[in-house]
Chain A
């Protein structure tokens, strides 16, 4: 028997419960009477294989639409417990890849395994391990959010009592009895976020989860992704918001024209591309003029100036020379900041290179 203290998603009250590993316990909050279900972590592996393995394995995936090859011999693995970002320009094949992993699209060739289950042979078990939030989500217009989540709870074989706490968690409690047909796009997306958590699956596949949402809800969803990951969930998500991918993902795959062109951590991608950090030096009275002394300095790769800020890209060994040269030339330095290269720079460079650019 194990004891655990959990927090009520509605009133944040702490509730202590007891149960055996793997046992499903029905909980009622002593303060606000919110009902929910908690499953004690099993002492047995939930996946077919042990921890440390790849939870999503995509091997040689190809998907063609008539003459168009949307995904071309794509292979990548998502490891247990990581947040894995799928990046690519519009039409790169991100959504096609995700829909093939879920089984919505029939791949022409390739093998997909989710949580150790082969999608072709054990599709039900594979999908039982996944919570999926599509890019273009729609629900049934004549149903309320509560009826919608009841439907999905039953479809997964879970208790309907999971629905209300999830609706409250995403902040839709005021609309709980309204028809979904009257919802805004953001509200529908939030209902999708609630839906995806039904049954607490070990794997989440989120296709552009922040698409079309205002900053408030982007933040809420970002926090939700982090929280799910902290609870041990593996997350594969695609996004065109590079900063989100950069902040959230342990590893990133960049695909272009259906092919994987890079896969690594954000830091390693920049190292691989030899993208150097940038110095941002605030110089009083600079007025957007680039000092000649810096332009002539050996080892400086790029230099730019805007208002009082001088941007210098150079090897780390050259940084001190830049500062000394500026001070020797009489410039009054107010502040110095080193900015690490962003994913955006790596992304742009990789995609341009793949497209045959510089």
Chain B
């Protein structure tokens, strides 16, 4: 077996970047991203602009939805769509290996995600730095880094789906399910908790088992939210209950090292599956 040619990977990556950086949906989402940071900075600061920590945490649920959305828009058609349209026919008739094409696509599309996140957080961060100052800057940089990882994670997952699905429409449906999974995961795991014999009162008494929190590893969006809190040195999760506010310590298991390892697994395993599906696939 011939070795992988880095020049081919670079060529495909450059083409993917050039072709997708002008994607109007990505441009729109990036602008929304910038505006949201500025708006949340103001809303989070309750009448005056909030610092980087307040803004980032206030936006956490939105960014953990927006970034996967960018990745899915970029990646859903990269195999299924190009195979359907015929663009992939020509590329794969050249002296290239499918793994080189896939790696090039990941790097190229990943670069667009990184640029979008840098622009979103960067412009917003500069605005906050200019109005409020650079308080909690290290946490903010950590949040940018974690957002990039989240974007790459979802890119890997959607590329796997795109390599598996024969049609573009099925790939986008897969992407929607992927985002939906992150949104409903909390309810699912709560159902499992109830099924295991626990109930709502256990939250107040602190009897909720640790696995309930640790299962966040199965939901990249939840994991990302925990990671960003860790980046700002926050070790507790607050939960509003009727009549009371509960606070739980984030389990030691979900330390930053473990979170990064789990993120990496979420990137590598789908990507390996994408290679398998793409190599096996009839184009």
Interface positions of A (Cβ within 8 A of B)? 65, 99, 102-106, 123-125, 127-128, 130, 132, 134, 136-143, 147, 151-152, 154-157, 192, 195
Contacts and interface: CB of A to CB of B under 8 A. Distances in A.
B93 A130 contact: yes
Contact of B90 (A103, A105, A134): A134
A155 B8 contact: yes
5 contacts: A128-B95, A137-B89, A140-B87, A142-B22, A156-B94
Contact of B20 (A65, A142, A157, A192): A142
A156 B90 CA distance: 12
Interface residues of B, number: 28
A155 B16 CA distance: 13
Given A106-B282, A142-B18, A127 B86 contact: no
B283 interface: yes
A25 B23 CA distance: 39
Contacts of B20: 142
A143 B95 contact: no
Nearest to A127: B95
Contacts of A130: 93
B86 A134 contact: yes
Nearest to A156: B94
B15 interface: yes
Nearest to B20: A142
B15 A140 contact: yes
Contacts of A125: 95
Contact of B86 (A106, A137, A156): A137
Given A142-B22, A142-B23, A103 B95 contact: no
Contacts of B2: 124
Interface in B18-36: 18-20, 22-23
Contacts of A105: 282-283
A147 B8 contact: no
A166 B192 CA distance: 63
Given A132-B93, A138-B87, A147-B18, 4 more contacts: A127-B94, A137-B90, A147-B15, A157-B7
A104 B19 contact: no
A140 B280 CA distance: 24
A336 to B, nearest CB: 49
Interface string B74-115: 000000001001110111111111000000000000000000
B11 interface: yes
With most chain B CB atoms within 10 A of its CB, the pick from A143, A147, A151, A192 is A151
A325 B44 CA distance: 106
A152 B94 contact: yes
B92 A103 contact: yes
Interface string B168-198: 0000000000000000000000000000000
Nearest to A144: B18
A106 B15 CA distance: 26
The 3 residue pairs across chains A and B that have the minimum distance between CB atoms: A132-B93, A138-B85, A128-B95
Contacts of A157: 7, 95
B88 to A, nearest CB: 8
